[in-house]
Structure 1
C-alpha cells in the first residue's frame, strides 16, 4: 500500500515523464516511421514505479487483477498470465496433452492443422509436443486460412486446429468452430496479433477452447514481455494453471498455504497419505509465470486498449484509402466479412505482373526511414528449422509461396501520426511513378513460377 511519501514520489514520477517527454516535429526522411512499437504515457511509468515501491517482484495482486480484467475484456471465463505470447502458445497446446482429459488428450503423432504462412510460435508447440503439423494455405487479401481448406485437411489422426488471426484480421471463427465441434477437434485461437478485434460482434479470443495473447511491445498493449492463455472451461483452466506453475496439483496463490483446508489430507499417486499438497505434482509442467511489475504495466495499458484500437483502425483506413489507386502495383488487403479488425499492420502484396521486385521497394522505403516487415516467416515449410521435421501439407501452398516473395507490411500502430501515414502514401506513389528502370517486366506466369522456387526471407515483426 503506497503511503503519503510514496504518493509524493509518484507525482514526481509523473512530472518527470511530462518534462522529459519529447514531442518532436515529424521530419520526412529523418524521423523514423516504425512498423510497430509501444505507446507509453505517465500512467504507465507511474504504475511500474508503484509496483516497484511495493517490492512486488513476483506474481501477486496486480497479476490477479490483470487476469480478471483481461478475461472480462475478451469474454472468457479465466485468463492465466505468462511470461510471453510464445509461452502462451506452448502452454495452450501442452495443456491438451493432460491425462486428465482422458480420451480427448493429445498424444505424440496426433495431427494439428495450422497455416503455413505466419509466425513460428503458432507451429513450434505442435512439434515440441511430438505432434505433426498439417500445413494449409491461406487466402490472398485476408491472409487467413479458409474453413474449406481446414475441412479438406482433416485426416484420421487430426485432433486439433491451431490458427492465428493474421495481422489482426479475424479468421472466420464461427465457421471454424462449427468444423471443430462437428469433428470433435480442439481449437486453439492464437489471438496474439488481434486483441480488440471482433468477429460478428464477438471479441476474438473468445471462440477457441483456448486462446492466447501477447504483450510484447509490438502488440496491442504491452508489458514489455508477457502473454496470456484464456479458457472458459473450468477443468481446462485448472490444467492450464497447473502446467504453468511447475505442474503442481495445488491451487494456492503464492504465499498461501492451505486454501483447500486439507493440505495434509490428500493421497495422490503412490505418495503417502498427507504428503504436502503444495509439493504434489499432477503434470509435467513448466514455470511460465510473469511478475507484478509486468502486470502493473499491463493494467495501465489495458485501460487504453479501446483508444489504441481506434487509432489502429483509423490509420489502417487512411492508408487503405490513400493507396486505393495503386491496385496496378498492389493487391490491397481486405477485412474478413462480418469482422472489425484491430489491425496489427497494413499488408501489401506486389503484383508479379508489375515487374517490381520487393527488395527494390523495401530498400526504397527503408532509405526513407519507413520501417517495413515481411509477413513473418512467409511459408514456414521453406525454413531450415523445419527441414528435418515431420509434417504434412494438405493441398498446395501457392499463396504461402506468393507471400514469401511478394508481401510485406507497414505500420498502423497508435504511434503513427497522420503526417507519417501521408508520408508513407506519398512515398509509395513516388516509387510507382518514378523511373521506369525500377521495373523489370516479365510475363506473369513466369514470375509466378519463380515465386515458387526462390526462398523467402524471414523477418520477425518488432
Structure 2
C-alpha cells in the first residue's frame, strides 16, 4: 500500500469521524477554548508517523522556520509545552556564558501574582526571588506605574505574561528594563498574534515563549516554543532544551563543527567526544515530529483564527456594554491590538449577585467559564513556603481573585453560539429586575 493511498484514506476517515455536530442551545456546551482542525492536521500527523522518525525532524524544522517568521523573530526552538518554554527561557538567563548578568540564587525577578503559575515557577525553582507587583483592573496586566518602585540592586530580570492576549505596557516595561540593565522575558503563551505598535509581542524582550496546548491559538496537543533573535541566548536555550549538551548537532547528525574529537572542555580528556560534553544543567524538552506536523497544518489557519478571536471579542464587548452597571469590561492596553485568548471581566461589588452566582448561571446554560488562573498566586498552597516579596499592595490582584471570570472567544464559537451566549447574559440580568 502506498503512502498516498494511506493518506487518502485518512481524509475519508476525517469526514466520517469528525463530522460537524449541530448546535442545540442549552444542551451543547460552549467551551472557553478548544482545538479547531481539518483533514490537514490528521494527514500531516499520519504522514509524520509513517516516517517513524520519533523525535524532532523535518516537520519540526519547517515549523520553527515558519513560526519564527510569523512572530518576527530570527529563531524559534520547539519544546514540549509552554511551561517548558518558560523553564528553558528562564534557565537560559542563569548560564555562566552571560557572566555578571546571569541570574543567581537570591537575585530578584519582577513579575505578577495574577497569572499562571508556570510563568513564576522557574524563578522559584532556580532559587531566585519573585517580586510581585499589582495589576490593572481593566487590562489585567502589571501596573506599569508601580514597576520602577519594585527595582532594587538585586533585580536581574522582568518576566511577564501578556494576560489573556492583552499586551502589557511594553513601552514602560522595556524602558525600565533598559534603564536598569534587566533581562525581559515575554510570556506570549496566550498572546500569539497580538501586536503592540504594529509589532508582534515577543519581539520586545530578550526571550519570548509560546504554548501549543489545545486551548491556545494553535495546537500540537502539547508543545511550546522559545523565541529569540539573540544568537548567544539561542545557543544557551538550545543547550538547556537538549540535555544541557554543548554540541549543537541536530538529532542523527554528527560532527557538524568538524572538531568533534579535537576540543578541550573543562577537566575532560582532550578530544572527548563533543556530543557528550555538557555545559549546562539541562533537560530533554523536545517535541516529536508528529506534534510538529500538526503545528505546520495549524500555522496555515492561524491568521484566520486570530481574526475570529478579535471579532468574537468585539461582539461580546458590544453586547455586554449595556451591563456596565454590574460589569467592569476589559480594555486593550493603549497602542495594542490583542489576539484575545478569552473575554475576561470583573463583577462590580453589589448586593444583587457575586461572581459565583453568574458563573453558575452560565455553566448551567452550558457556557463554560474560567477564573483568571491562580487568582492571587501568593494565596495558593504551593507558595506557602516560597521566598517572595510583594512590592506595594496587591489590592487589584485580590479583587480579581474574588471577582473575575472569563469566557471563550475561540474560533469554534460561531455567530449562532455567540448570539446564544449573549442571550443567556440577557436572561441573567433581566432576572435581577
TM (norm. structure 1) is: 0.92
> Paired residue for 1:424?
421
1:60 aligned onto 2:57: yes
Give the aligned partner of residue 273 of structure 2: 276
Matching of residue 86 in structure 1 with residue 83 in structure 2? yes
In the other structure, the counterpart of 1:246 is 243
Residue of structure 2 equivalent to 1:459: none
Cα displacement (A) at 1:150: 1.4
In the alignment, which residue of structure 2 is the partner of 1:454?
none
**What's the secondary structure of 2:124's corresponding residue?**
helix
Deviation track 1:170-194 (CA, whole Å, cap 9, x = no partner) reads 1111321111111100000000000
Deviations 1:346-368 (A, max 9, x none): 01110003531111111111111
Deviation at 1:146, TM superposition (A): 2.8
Matched, 1:115 2:83: no
CA distance in 2, matches of 1:25, 1:294: 29
In structure 2, C-alpha distance between the alignment counterparts of 1:120 and 1:187, rounded to whole Å: 18
Residue 229 of structure 1 aligns to a residue whose secondary structure is strand
Alignment partner for residue 182 of structure 1, among 171, 179, 182? 179
Q: Whole-Å Cα distance in 1 between the matches of residues 173 and 357 of structure 2?
A: 38
- Per the alignment, residue 125 of structure 1 pairs with 122
Instruction: Give the match for residue 48 of structure 2.
Output: 51
Distance 2:118 2:36 in 1: 24
Q: Which residue matches 1:159?
A: 156
Q: Report SS of the residue matched to 1:187.
A: strand
Task: Give the corresponding residue for 1:388.
Answer: 385
Distance of 1:183 and 1:110 partners within structure 2: 14
**Which residues in structure 2 correspond to 1:219-234 (within 5 Å)?**
219-234=216-231
CA distance in 2 between partners of 1:235 and 1:359 (Å) = 48
Aligned partner of 1:215 among 207, 212, 223:
212
Query: Within 1, Cα distance between the matches of 2:154 and 2:89?
Result: 20
Deviates more, 1:352-361 or 1:224-233: 352-361
What residue number does 1:372 align with? Answer: 369
Q: Tell me the distance in 2 between the aligned counterparts of 1:73 and 1:133.
A: 31
1:352 counterpart SS class: coil
TM-score, L = length of structure 2 = 0.98
| Aligned-partner SS, 1:159 | strand
Corresponding position of 2:13: 16
Question: Quick check: 1:204 aligned with 2:204?
Answer: no
Residue 293, structure 1, aligned to residue 290, structure 2: yes
Asked if the contact 2:263/2:270 (under 8 Å) is kept, the reply is: yes
Structure 2 Cα separation of the partners of residues 425 and 348 of structure 1? 14
How far residue 143 of structure 1 moved from its aligned partner, in angstroms, is: 0.5
Corresponding residue to 1:348 among 341, 345, 348: 345
Q: Give the number of equivalent residue pairs.
A: 433
Any idea what the Cα deviations from partners look like across 1:217-260, whole Å, max 9, x if unmatched? 00000000000001111011100001111111101000111101
Cα pair 1:328 1:354 within 8 Å, conserved: no
Alignment of 1:326 with 2:315, yes or no, is no
Counterpart among 145, 161, 175 of residue 148 in structure 1 = 145
CA distance in 1, matches of 2:267, 2:53: 37
Residues 199, 340 of structure 1: 8 Å contact kept: yes
Once the 2 structures are TM-superposed, how far is the Cα of residue 435 of structure 1 from its aligned partner? 4.5
Q: What is the distance in 2 between the residues matched to 1:234 and 1:312?
A: 33
Cα separation, partners in 2 of 1:355 and 1:191, compared to 1, 3 Å: same
Question: Does residue 41 of the first structure (1) align with residue 45 of the second (2)?
Answer: no
SS of alignment partner, residue 424 of structure 1: helix
> Contact 1:120–1:380 (CA<8 Å) still a contact in 2?
yes
5 Å-filtered alignment, 1:96-107, equals 96-107=93-104
Q: Distance in 2 between matches of 1:281 and 1:177?
A: 33
Q: Secondary structure at the match of 2:232?
A: helix
Query: Which whole-Å CA distance do the structure 1 matches of 2:291 and 2:187 have between them?
Result: 21
Report deviation, 1:49: 0.6
- 1:100 Cα deviation after fit: 0.7
Q: Secondary structure, in 3 states, of the residue corresponding to 1:161? A: strand
